[in-house]
């Protein structure tokens, strides 16, 4: 299926926004290890999984509670989320 000019423009805009919003795992982990995280790290797994282990400094914010708890999140810091990691 060939892409027309509008498809190409839409894809370009989508990926530009996506890349601007995402952080690389290694960059986040380095900042966490150095204690220099200028962001709030949110673990979006369930409470039980969070209690069994999480990245140091992460807040527990289960995905099914994001809408309800969003007003309580800081607005002056970047929010970085993570969930399951199989690496």
Cα-Cα-Cα-Cα dihedral sign, residues 33, 21, 43, 77: positive
User: Does any domain span residue 6?
Assistant: no
Could you list the residue range(s) of the whole structural domain that residue 75 is in?
24-82
More confident residue, 2 or 61: 61
User: Does any domain span residue 9?
Assistant: no
pLDDT at 86 over 80: no
User: Does any domain span residue 66?
Assistant: yes
The count of structural domains within the chain is 1
Question: Cβ atoms within 10 A of the Cβ of 32, count?
Answer: 17
pLDDT of residue 62: 95
pLDDT of residue 85: 58
Question: What's the CATH code of the domain at 39?
Answer: 3.40.250.10
pLDDT of residue 87: 46
User: Does any domain span residue 16?
Assistant: no
User: Does any domain span residue 3?
Assistant: no
pTM: 0.70
Least Cα distance to 44 among 86, 85, 84 occurs for 84
User: Does any domain span residue 55?
Assistant: yes
User: Does any domain span residue 4?
Assistant: no
Q: Work out the average pLDDT over 35-54.
A: 91
Per-chain mean pLDDT for the chain: 89
User: Does any domain span residue 61?
Assistant: yes
Q: Work out the average pLDDT over 1-10.
A: 91
């Amino acid at each position: 299926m060939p892409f027309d000019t509008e498809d190409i423009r839409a894809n370009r805009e989508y990926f530009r926004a996506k890349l601007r919003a995402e952080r690389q795992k290694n960059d986040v982990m380095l900042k966490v290890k150095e204690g220099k995280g200028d962001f709030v790290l949110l673990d979006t797994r369930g409470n039980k999984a969070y209690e069994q282990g999480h990245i140091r400094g992460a807040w527990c914010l289960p995905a099914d509670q994001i809408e309800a708890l969003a007003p309580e999140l800081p607005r002056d810091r970047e929010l970085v989320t993570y969930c399951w990691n199989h690496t």
